[in-house]
Amino acid sequence: MNNFSEAIMNKYNNSLMSITRTDKFIKVIREMGYTEAPKNGSSHRIFKCNGKPCLSIPNNRELAPGTRRNLVKLICGNEYYS
């Protein structure tokens, strides 16, 4: 794992996968340095962070398990799942 991934996993005690509510997930990624990009539509929210991939998060109350897993892979890299 890279330093960014390790810092995230240490701070949140591997709890990113346990967050099911979209608003809580957004709160966590904002703490990590992601900022919301200007909106064009209402179905997704786009977040950017320097040197990291952009995240597209659906405007649903709950995050689907597959969506959450893919977002964590983008944030932490595939090393998290090895």
Domain containing residue 18: CATH number? 3.30.920.30
Note the pLDDT tens digit of each residue in 13-60: 566 778 889 999 998 888 888 999 987 778 899 999 888 889 999 999
- 82 found inside a domain: no
What's the predicted TM-score (pTM) here? 0.76
Q: Which residues have CB under 8 Å from 54's CB, separation 6+?
A: 37, 46, 47, 48
Q: Are 49 and 40 in contact (CB under 8 A)?
A: no
Domain count for the chain:
1
Print the domain residue range for 40: 3-76
- 81 found inside a domain: no
